[in-house]
Amino acid sequence: MTDTQYYSLLTNSGHQANIKAKALGLPIVLSKVAFGSGNITPTESATGLVKEEIRVNISSVIQNEIDKNILEIEAVIPSDVGGFMINEAALYLEDETLYAIINLPASYKPSIDQGAGKEFVFTILLASVGVENVTLKIDDSIVFATRKYVLSELKKYALINGDETKKFKVANAVEDNESINKKQFDDNVVKLKGNQTVEGIKTFSSNPISTATQSVAVNALTRKDYVDGLDSANVKLTGNQTIAGVKTFSSSPIVPTPTADFQASTKKYVDDNLMPNGIGAGSNLDNLKTNGFYWTGNTANQPSGENGRATILVIGNNIINTAITQIYTGNSSGITYIRTFNETSWSQWLKISNIGLNDINGLTNKITPVDTDNLALQETGGLLKKLSWSNLKATLVAYLSTGTGFSVSLTQNGYIKFPSWLGGLIIQWGYAPGGNGNSGTVTLPIAFPNGFRALFVQDEAGTRYTGLTKSSLTSFPWIGAGSSDLGWLAIGH
């Protein structure tokens, strides 16, 4: 509270307007003055006049010549308005915010119909508001300008012979040495203060300096420290970065063909190299003697009739080149073949898929002998024996299934057992209920008599299982790593 009897006081809403304008770098725009006849004591909590009589546009805002921290705000009440006392006033911003409240010495404003019409000019002094940030919104069609305001405006224009009362109109300059008028100047220069739209390409001889802190506006000039901060927190289009956390892509990212171990791989690269060992098209299978699981295209010495991709399993003692076995499955045909290498040469490919008792019956049923009841066999010494065709088939089946050691079970959990002259190889397969975190033990359909050589396990979702233990000749344990049932393939002899 001031000791002066008549004074102006910023309201709470005025203080808030100052804080907001300073934070955003915007000016305080004064617009109107309201006059009233009520008796008021200015307080910061005021929300309006006691009794408002009229509200007029501000005529001028002038900086006091003696104290530069004081603004002289002038307003004029026209002669055709009156018939009331004036004891109070209020300043409003352009958005109708009550900025300041003022008490005035009592004066009566007569009206013309009372026989004494006159204009009232009021000057309100407003101090400590940051005068450099205060501007005036003027409606030229209804504002009244005082003589003092006109003189102050004249000083802003070029003077001739020291005469401050003259203002000269200057046409738009064309030549370099011609005078320029205010409007042409305002339209063609970038000012130090205020908002402007700058068109065209501007080339700076040095880097422009932004505000002390990064503006939150979308189109604001960006500071270097702000961009540097983004560099460390965002994935850039170029350069090397270490990306932390889990990133979920809405679509599959496209990456180049990998050249190092830890780079992301393309689908084609995986398709071409998914198997543990890829063999290039045109390779010679006779040279493939290293134990493993392989993928290949067209190759030399592949089974007759096969043309395309295939998977190959190699099992044996490749160190001394003895008892090596190749199992070949064509991807398109689905047919499986087998052959062995004994020290110097490979045997012929033998088709082993879909071989069983029914296939032998199907094969023999396609043979139509001359005499199906009596088949003549000429033995040494001229002894002639006769036996029925059905007996011959039974004898052949029994020989293949028992005499040679070959047997097969084509059930879901099944096996193929090859005879001793094919190395005694046994291939077993089956399914087991999977599930992430589940575990169990798979009992083989038949026991491996001599050795459990290889085990492959994968679920329906493509998850491979590692760390499996071939714990016995009759079973193996597993621990689930995927969410679906798992299939397994075991090889022994």
Q: Tell me what pLDDT residue 379 has.
A: 40
Q: How far, rounded to the nearest angstrom, does the alpha carbon of residue 171 sit from its chain's CA centroid?
A: 57
Q: Tell me what pLDDT residue 172 has.
A: 82
Distance CA 482, CA 169 (A): 87
Q: What is the residue whose two structure tokens read 């082993």?
A: 352
**Cβ atoms < 10 Å from Cβ of 426:** 24
Q: Tell me what pLDDT residue 190 has.
A: 78
Report yes or no: 339 and 325 within 8 Å, Cβ to Cβ: yes
Q: Tell me what pLDDT residue 295 has.
A: 76
**What backbone torsions phi and psi does residue 485 show, to the nearest 5 degrees?**
-60, 155
The two structure tokens encoding residue 367: 């043979």
**Mean pLDDT in order along the chain per 10 residues (493 residues):** 74 92 88 93 93 91 80 86 92 93 90 79 74 51 51 55 60 78 78 78 78 68 73 74 82 82 73 60 83 80 85 70 78 84 84 52 43 42 45 56 70 87 84 71 90 79 58 79 74 88
Beta strands in 333-396 (DSSP E): 336-342, 345-346, 350-351, 375-378, 384-387
Distance CA 99, CA 93 (A): 6
Distance CA 237, CA 470 (A): 49
Buried b (16+ CB within 10 A) or exposed e, 329-349: bbeeeebbbbbbbeeeeeeeb
Distance CA 76, CA 139 (A): 13
**What backbone torsions phi and psi does residue 314 show, to the nearest 5 degrees?**
-115, 125
For the chain, how many helices (H) and strands (E)? 7, 24
Q: Tell me what pLDDT residue 54 has.
A: 94
Q: 357-365 and 389-398 helices cross at what angle (nearest 10)?
A: 150
The two structure tokens encoding residue 340: 């062995």
Which of 65-68's residues contact partners 24+ apart within 8 Å by CB, and which partners?
A: 67/127, 68/131
SS3 201: coil
